[in-house]
Chain A
Amino acid sequence: MRLISGRMRKVLKLEHVDAFYDRSQALDDVSIEVREGEFVTILGANGAGKTTIMKCIMGLLPPRNGRILFGGEDLTGRPAWVRTEMGMGYVPEGRRVFPDLTVEENLRMGGYNLKDHRALRRNLEWAYELFPRLKERRKQLARTMSGGEQQMLAIARALMIEPRLLLIDEISTGLMPILVNHSFNVIKDLHQRGITILLVEQNANKALKVADRGYVLEIGRITLQGTSRELRDNEEVVKAYLGS
């Protein structure tokens, strides 16, 4: 439904965003957009500013200049905690599950802003259906789970609000190769179910296989953009990110 009616609608738009940590600039004139139903990726090396973009979008680091629009609404000056209510699901870098809460409590926190009890139940069931492993471990403290399980929990937590846009900050870091593949398959599957995704990644190779479009971020600037195919065929991208 979403796919057909809103194919061209912009979900997210960053306009000329500058961000700073104290006096050091981390983002310089970043403009990107994500349309309904798309899977967009932002590629960049360590320290390029990928996480900073995510923090700006989530309201954890307010941009110094520029605007961020979500569903046409200007987010400038709005606190981080309105994001989930508006439909942004966030999978932070390094998973960041609440270590001393159980799996189920973590998921409930994901759905913290759901007003409707039935929606909470339903989405909990949905999360368990997607990740049966989490259901087996629902009473277990998140800190005692393996890295891969925590990654699944972080994704499931973000799905609890049935997000309009899923923001993922590096799906692959710190996981063994087999789990990296699994994680990419999971988000590819979520995209096929109609969820709009913005993924920031270092693993360009994998990201460009699942995304529709991509941007390349270098030291805080967007230097290239295009469809995944264009980027995969681009010499500079191949040289810098895809290896030989």
Chain B
Amino acid sequence: MAEKSARKSNDVLLHDHNHDGIDRRGFLKCMAWAGTGAFCVIQGGVLNSYSLSKLAEVGSMETRGELSFVQISDSHMGFDKAANPDVVSTLKAAIDKINALPQPPAFILHTGDITHLSKPAEFDTAEQLLKSASAKDVFYVPGEHDVLNDEGKQYLDRFGKGSKGAGWYSFENKGVHFIGLVNVMNLKAGGLGNLGQEQLEWLEKDLKHLSKSTPVVVFAHIPLWSVYPEWGWGTDDSAQALSYLKRFGSVTVLNGHIHQTMQKVEGNITFHTAASTAFPQPKPGSAPSPGPMKVPEEQLRSLLGVTDVNYVRGHHALAVTDSSLG
């Protein structure tokens, strides 16, 4: 049931402009597996997709490149409602998945909603658990649940070292330029996610010195593409940010927030949202609200997950792999 409806939502989202010659039928086929454990590679504009039954198989494929890293998202430490009364054990399961990868990833990206209520103990739990991951470096961006009541002060105290403004920053690894953006602050009534003028100016400057052949990975909590504005699943000023990225050959945008995997290719930019490690949310418009989705217990882990990303030099886009926890 869940797989069938996930397919439907991806079909809808793929009716977007594609000008890069990617085989659409192949792309759709690949997408049909996303969220239940799919492996997709887009190399030089040609798509290959493989069924992912065992993570070990990934290692044997010719996809290990110069750099591999993992994205996790929406851990919601402190959440204890029916949709998942034990978010600690599912975060642990996600870390087990990471530790089972044939090669340890260079680092972990956490795309926000680390905590449910911004409580110090919730942050502590997440940090403590992630210490057992094979990758020691974790790069965070905040979700709206991490900046409650204090305008993000606690988040910045913990994770903001070396960052600018509300916590945005960039770094390089193996020739790939990574940019962590914050789009959960100063939200306006009736609006969506928000980057703000100061951050946009910083972004423009940050990208200016890069050659257009530099692969760029942008990560932020709320999607930087319009997934479903009716539920707030988009960012008001993302078009401005994306305009600075148009000249690059390879751009990958990684987000969380919507607690399900989705992918879209638009020109040079591949958009990808990761599953939550805590609880699933309904497909766009399929429920009265985007609140936590209660599924039968035996189904829960199949809807939670970890995203593995591989960069192979010279290829059109990074390979993005979603694997479920169950």
- Chains A and B belong together in one complex: no
Q: Which residues of B contact A (CB under 8 A)?
A: none
Q: Which residues of A contact B (CB under 8 A)?
A: none
